[in-house]
Amino acid sequence: MEASRSTRPAPGVALVIPTFNEVESIGAVVRAVSRETIDEIIVADGGSTDGTTEAAVQAGARVVDAGRGYGRACLLGAEATKAGIVAYMDGDGADDPAALTSLLAPIRAGACDFTIASRTRGEREPGSMAAHQVLAGTVAGGLIGLLYGVRYTDMCALRAIRRDRLMALGMRELGYGWNLEMQMRAARAGLRIAEIPVSYRCRIGGESKVAGSLFGTLRAGSRIVATFARVALERAPKSIGTGAAGPAAAGVASPQRGPRS
């Protein structure tokens, strides 16, 4: 039986931060998170060798040994908590932890199942996003709109989702296609989705695993393309949503509805 639109999630919010060699930033990132907003911070580490895990523990986070793979870290982080809402944020310091309040509010109110930050609709520090990152989000959003009628503008890692909804999506991607797969499955499942414009800044230190090199860009890009093709060709499962995408909460920007294919 589908839950009513007024159903609220179980109590508690866990923030999952996937990391791999982020010692220059992780301590500051964890300390910047408001404990009035987040009940538990989980650093899902992919085998860092630079002291990332030690810095995370010293800053107050719980560390989960996730093994290699961005998606694997995101999944194991969610499995490591019983909180009703799971939020995600990268550990490089580019995301503003203050934005978590806006992402969580519509889910806590029972108006949304899934919220995602949009860097392209907010303010970006010069140099914080490469041109191909902006283009990828635009193209992916347009294609998802054609497939499922929900048009995203970004594939930002900063997001929040009801844990029960996440676990029902059947996530399979263990690499860099995780964010895209979540957005596709959420749209296809009929979850109530909202995009929240956020500010975005340059990373605190270190080099991006994706945009920092040509190899990283090509590796992540190929994984994202493969993920899109795999999910798009799957037979659509029964909806797990509670209504049409887009919350009724005032001040929350919803992804645009596009034509269904």
pLDDT in tens, 176-230: 999 999 999 999 999 999 999 998 888 887 666 555 445 556 766 788 889 999 9
Whether the predicted model's global pTM rises above the 0.75 cut: yes
Residue type, 58: Q
Using the predicted structure, report yes or no on whether residue 3 has a pLDDT greater than 60: no
| CATH no. for 13-251 | 3.90.550.10
Are residues 30 and 59 in contact, defined by beta-carbon separation less than 8 angstroms?
Answer: yes
Residue with the larger pLDDT of the pair 132 and 48 = 48
Q: CA 38, 39, 41: angle at the middle one, nearest 5?
A: 75
Residue with the larger pLDDT of the pair 32 and 122 = 32
CA distances in angstroms from 221 to 72, 132, 150, listed in the order given: 17, 10, 22
Average pLDDT rounded to a whole number, residues 70-78: 98
Take residue 186 and report the two structure tokens written for it: 């959420």
Confidence of residue 238 (pLDDT cuts 50, 70, 90): low
CA distance 86 to 64: 15
pLDDT of residue 125: 75
Average pLDDT rounded to a whole number, residues 28-50: 97
Using the predicted structure, report yes or no on whether residue 57 has a pLDDT greater than 80: yes
pLDDT of residue 217: 62
Q: CA 154, 157, 159: angle at the middle one, nearest 5?
A: 90
Across the chain, the runs of DSSP E, i.e. the strands, are 13-19, 40-45, 62-65, 85-88, 114-118, 150-151, 159-162, 193-197, 256-257
Residue with the larger pLDDT of the pair 239 and 2 = 239
Average pLDDT rounded to a whole number, residues 143-165: 96
Residue with the larger pLDDT of the pair 29 and 136 = 29
Q: What percent of the chain has pLDDT over 70?
A: 83
Give the strand order in the sheet containing 13-19: 62-65, 40-45, 13-19, 85-88, 159-162, 114-118, 193-197
Dmax (CA) of the chain? 50
pLDDT of residue 108: 97
What are residue 42's DSSP bridge partners? 16, 62
| Region for 81 from its dihedrals, namely left if φ exceeds 0, alpha if ψ lies in -120 to 50, beta otherwise | beta
pLDDT of residue 123: 85
First to last CA, the chain: 27
